Structure 1
């Protein structure tokens, strides 16, 4: 039978799940047959694997699979606002806000989304059912049809009207939480309505809105159009679209190593969410370009890092006589990462001196060549920009940072050699790459 629209999406989804399950079985069978020289044993192996494949064929036949999925639908809930972002152990309800899109002047909310992507919470083992309900075709989703009591997307899979009604009833359980509840681990706000009464509010994380924001920021950084705009800007050419950037974002993680336990959209983002900066401007004295030969030796940088260096050195001395463990290496890495972030923050401040662009070309500037290229990115000199585009300087900066840190950590009980230097370089280089995109966006 030829399926169309949502029916085709449903059939394709089930077929793909079958393929994913069958592929490793087929490969194992092929490998076992190649390694077995005896004909009789080969027949037995083939029979064994064919039985497994037939079982998968039955499991992923449309009617049995949809019937089982409808039974499991009650284990998950489609939502726009989820509770577990507040606390991973919270077991209360989420909310599905399916109202028509509208814009409240001055506010950004879920209702501002023209294309709403619902999230799914509940038993992570049943998230495949959520993905089924989230399938879309021709501007509508399976969940929307179910909410309208429209079972037509499933009609091509069975001629039994009773079966269709059972599917509809089962899948609808994922759209409505009959027993709404909060939880002791949820946020609660007492909102007064008069002197003696109040409403108890339990704010929920706007998962659908957060996912849309994450996607918008991602497109502005990694989308094809964004890349074309940056390339045109770098080449000094005109582009008819605006360059959009979101500086000063932070990353918040949810769910640790199991982001799917929070929600399905959280899992799609790898457990990460971008936070927009709402911090007020920081007052600072007048910043000037570094005047010495090495920014790492400058009094300003060492003033910012002396305490961090001391903490790292004290920690390393405290574990110097212990066998290296994963916990020790991770803690050491956190200390080093804090130092790297301090250096990159200081460097970003110097790079922001756009009104002094070209300061590194002044005869009085004694900075190391790589540091000039790094810290004066707006230098208009063609030769300077040519050297910067060669991207040899990040490696030099990483080596300089590693050498500086090794010298700072010198102690009679500790020896730092090439291995440690390479470890510091790796941490610095990775962090520098992460900062580099934001730096180019703000340029």
Structure 2
């Protein structure tokens, strides 16, 4: 028995009914259901204003309900006594078999989505209970959308929006619940992915993942969250912080002997190194691929220069307390600024040091990713060095 069949069966048992009887008794309440994208009760619990946004996408990078892949919510006239069928429709169900797999499933959808897509999964689940699927689906597809209200409500926030000389529109702000729940679901999925990527026993261990920090959980409706809307629950929704970033000073540690090997950690360049490795393994060697490789090396050079600029911000003369080579000291320590700008003999040794580090970083990346190591010869090293040489000489000219 799958997740949907198990849900319906459990609800029916609690009512002393068969699954078919439970569905039939609750289907009559579909007429009370309305699809909504904005609900005023999230601002004030006594406001009955809501609407369904069926506008066309605006495009131009605006974040609107129509421009986003979101799932509508449902409200039910009459309150929680008639909410059973709506709660089933907006509930999330997995195609996985075990409870543990269902909990971690990132592809689970609502029953409403499965019905709209006519997914074979929900057809099997419904028919396994001895219920005729197609008539049920047709009834669910006929759920009406909430019409636009004729008037606003004084308990909602109003905005006077100027549209010309002494003219204005009075705009009412309604919470976009479809966007709110879409963001909450994406954050929760990201948290599950993060948990897998940090679990040493998981196949996803150490894979790249997103991290959302300082998440605020906001709850609506008190002890009766279902009275606000069907997708609302006691768990609330996740809200991202809208605050300036908190920046902390970092103490810069000068390199001891070699800037590249002491100050640059290859994992910080992992994405670029893997992309570069893919081009090395590509059997085709046309102009397009050579240009892509050149762009990747330039990106790495840019990241290296950012680190170098941080060292230049240290007090002049810091390199005298290290065993840094003369060429790298001239490049990184502003006490040698005049020599750096007037004498270019330091440039090539620095570029070759970069090339040696890049080859070493690529090898370490391949080993960590369990890829066959590709031996890069002197020609590749010189190519990397030439790319950096052009950037450093341009930097000197512009200074």
The TM-score, its normalising length taken from structure 2, stands at 0.44
Structure number with the higher helix fraction is 1
